[in-house]
Amino acid sequence: MAAAAPQAEAKSIGSDDYSLSRVPRDKRFGFWSMLLQWLAQSGSISQFTLGATIGVGMTFGNAFLAFTLGAVILEIVIFAIGLAGMREGLATPMLTRWVGFGRNGSALVSFVIAVSLVGWFGVQNTIFGNSVSALVGGPSWMWCVLAGMAITALVIFGFRYMAVFAKIVTPLFFAMVAWSVVSTLKDHSISDLINSPPPGQTIPLAVAATAIAGGFMTGAIVAPEMTRYNRKGSHVFIQSASSMILSEYIVGMTGVLLGHLVKSNEVSHIVLSTSGAFGVIVVLMSTAKINDWNLYGSSLGVVNFFQVVFGKRLHRGAVTIVLGIAGTVLSAIGIMTHFTEFLSILGVAIPPIGGIIVAEYWVVKRMRKPLDDTREAETLPRTSPTWVPMSIAIWIVAFCVGKFYDGGIPALNSLGTAFVLYAVLGLLGWVKPYGTSTLGDEDSAVPAARATTSVGAA
């Protein structure tokens, strides 16, 4: 049975990308390839729009404080969770088997993450299609289908090809945006724009920080999907911090200046109108580069969910095809936009997962010993806890705090509540696993993954 696994794997479409195993050290990527992947997440017109929205309601100085608060919060979360993913070579769904939730709990985590990410894939694809339709004409459903199928085709073949795409798109996007913005601002006094009062209704600092930190919190929680391909912890910090600096201070604060200039958050036309057809293509490609991570993360969650619940070892590439088609079809017929409120609720449900991961892995450390014992061998522990009921209870409480408490930042409230509760109750010995699950051959399929996953240093 074991000898036949590599052959079966080789016939599957695309790359499995170590969906149920550790990423081996010799298959990880170099600093510059990973840096471009991180920076690609900063390359979006929507970040300019966010900056302009904040700029309309805040002075430049207050907007700087808001972006600083949001960037610091996100960087702390990304580094704490991402470093765990780098050390273990595991994505978030697999990591939670030994870090806070147990085997069955990880299935619940996987389900929530998968539904949320594939949902946002569909929503972003709808926005993508509508934007192209408005810019160049044609029915939006057609552009939704073309974009969805293109992103699906990219994600099928996994991390390596996503990294190559980032190398192409990221430099083009920022070069084009820099040219457009400089061309727009050169005839205006930067000093006057910095010192000008907000042209619109005042936005409180907490509200602005909520938009900045809360908007990317789900991405921070699934940072291990990317950092498991990192070689060093220092790389995780430098790359994620570089992404934060570029996204919040350079892109975001430029958006603030543009918002003060045009006195509106409608600033996307500045980039698009000054860069021509080539600029439109680059912007669309950069949007696709961000949305590919939604589909990629969702596929990893579904693979873990099916393995735990149904005992089926699905190939990540095949799962990507199904999810991509489903998200594309739903976006093309306009259904996904009706689920944004539901997806926003899931956005409050996901941060507590991060709080529990950080508390268990770095503070309590009661369940991670099997990971410590098998890390050097690059294998998975043969057993894992089955359930951790207290973690589920903490998750529910933290979600309620994030959802129903009106003060502060909802995503941060739920994450902080989960971290504090788990750390305190864990150190008191009240967080206890129940049952032991044995890792079956279908859980990891390490030989197959090593033989066929097409990734490597770059």
**DSSP per position, 51-64:** HHHHHHHS-HHHHH
Q: 68-107: per-residue pLDDT in tens?
A: 988 998 999 999 999 999 999 999 999 999 999 999 999 9
Does residue 279 belong to any structural domain of this protein? yes
More confident position, 279 or 414: 414
| Total domains in the fold of the chain | 1
Q: Length of the chain in residues, anyone?
A: 458
Does residue 291 belong to any structural domain of this protein? yes
Q: 324-349: per-residue pLDDT in tens?
A: 999 999 889 888 767 777 777 887 88
Q: 198-224: per-residue pLDDT in tens?
A: 988 898 887 888 778 877 888 899 999
Quick check: 282 pLDDT over 90?
A: no
Q: Pull the structure tokens for residue 100.
A: 């806070």
Hey, which residues does 383 pair with through a beta bridge?
438
Question: 10 Å Cβ neighbour count for 275?
Answer: 18
Does residue 5 belong to any structural domain of this protein? no
137 exposure class (CB count in 10 Å sphere: 0-12, 13-18, 19+) = exposed
Q: Distance between CA atoms of 139 and 137, rounded to whole angstroms?
A: 7
424 exposure class (CB count in 10 Å sphere: 0-12, 13-18, 19+) = middle
CB distance 69 to 212 below 8 Å: yes
CB distance 252 to 67 below 8 Å: yes
Does residue 6 belong to any structural domain of this protein? no
**Where in the sequence is the domain holding 91, given as residue range(s)?**
14-452
Quick check: 437 pLDDT over 60?
A: yes
pLDDT of residue 205: 85
CB distance 29 to 235 below 8 Å: no
**DSSP per position, 234-273:** HHHHHHHHHHHIIIIIIIIHHHHHHHHHHTSS--HHHHHH
Does residue 3 belong to any structural domain of this protein? no
pLDDT of residue 371: 96
| Residue bearing tokens 């909802």 | 410
Does residue 200 belong to any structural domain of this protein? yes
More confident position, 440 or 133: 133
Q: Pull the structure tokens for residue 417.
A: 């509540």
If you average pLDDT over each of 120-134, 260-274, 349-363, which comes out highest? Answer: 349-363
Q: Distance between CA atoms of 135 and 173, rounded to whole angstroms?
A: 18
Taking alpha carbons only, the member of 127, 74, 68, 73 closest to residue 256 is 68
- DSSP code of 42? T
Indicate the average pLDDT of the chain: 86
331 exposure class (CB count in 10 Å sphere: 0-12, 13-18, 19+) = buried
Q: 220-274: per-residue pLDDT in tens?
A: 999 999 999 999 999 999 999 999 999 888 888 988 998 898 888 777 767 666 6
Q: 3-35: per-residue pLDDT in tens?
A: 444 444 445 678 999 999 999 999 999 999 999
Does residue 360 belong to any structural domain of this protein? yes
Cβ neighbours for 243, distance < 8 A, ≥ 6 positions apart: 38, 39, 41, 42
pLDDT of residue 26: 95
pLDDT of residue 401: 94
Quick check: 441 pLDDT over 80?
A: no
H-helix segments, 316-409: 316-332, 340-349, 351-358, 369-374, 389-404
Does residue 159 belong to any structural domain of this protein? yes
pLDDT of residue 276: 65
CATH number, domain with residue 115: 1.10.4160.10
